[in-house]
Amino acid sequence: GAVVSQHPSRVICKSGTSVKIECRSLDFQATTMFWYRQFPKQSLMLMATSNEGSKATYEQGVEKDKFLINHASLTLSTLTVTSAHPEDSSFYICSARGARGADTQYFGPGTRLTVL
C-alpha cells in the first residue's frame, strides 16, 4: 500500500512551547489529509480535515487557533500545537488519501507528544 510518513515520531517539550508535526505522502498525491488524536486505551478522534490549498475544517471542540494545520502541497501537511500544555500530551496520527472517490486512506505511524 501507499506510504505516509510522520516526523518526528516522538517529541518531548516544555509547557508553553509550540510543536510542529509533519505528515508526508511519499508515493502519491494526497488531495485530502486528516489529523487524529488518540489518548491511551481510546480510539482515534478526528481533529480536522484539510484539503490542499484550502483552510482546514475542524471538528467540534477542537480549537483551530491552538491546532494550526497547513496543507500547502499535495504531499505535505503540518500540525502545529501552539502553547502546548500537559493535557495536549497524546498520540497524533495523520492520514492521507488521493482524489478519486474510492481512494484508500493511508495512515502515518503517529507522533507521540509529551508536554512536561
Partner 1 sequence: DAKTTQPTSMDCAEGRAANLPCNHSTISGNEYVYWYRQIHSQGPQYIIHGLKNNETNEMASLIITEDRKSSTLILPHATLRDTAVYYCIVPMTGGFKTIFGAGTRLFVKA
Kindly give, in sequence order, each residue whose CB lies less than 8 Å from that of residue 64, ignoring residues fewer than 6 positions away. 48, 56, 58
- Contact of 11 with 113, CB cutoff 8 Å: yes
Closest distance of CB 83 from partner 1, Å: 26
Output the smallest distance, CB 4 to partner 1, in A: 8
Identified binder of partner 1 from the candidate list 26, 46, 72, 116, rule CB under 8 A: 46
Q: Are residues 80 and 18 in contact, defined by beta-carbon separation less than 8 angstroms?
A: yes
Task: Please tell me the distance from the alpha carbon of residue 87 to that of residue 108, in angstroms, as a whole number.
Answer: 22
Rounded to a whole number of angstroms, the minimum distance from the CB of residue 18 to partner 1 is 23
Contact footprint for partner 1 (CB under 8 A):
1, 4, 6, 32, 34, 36, 43-46, 49, 91, 93, 95, 97, 101-102, 104-110, 112
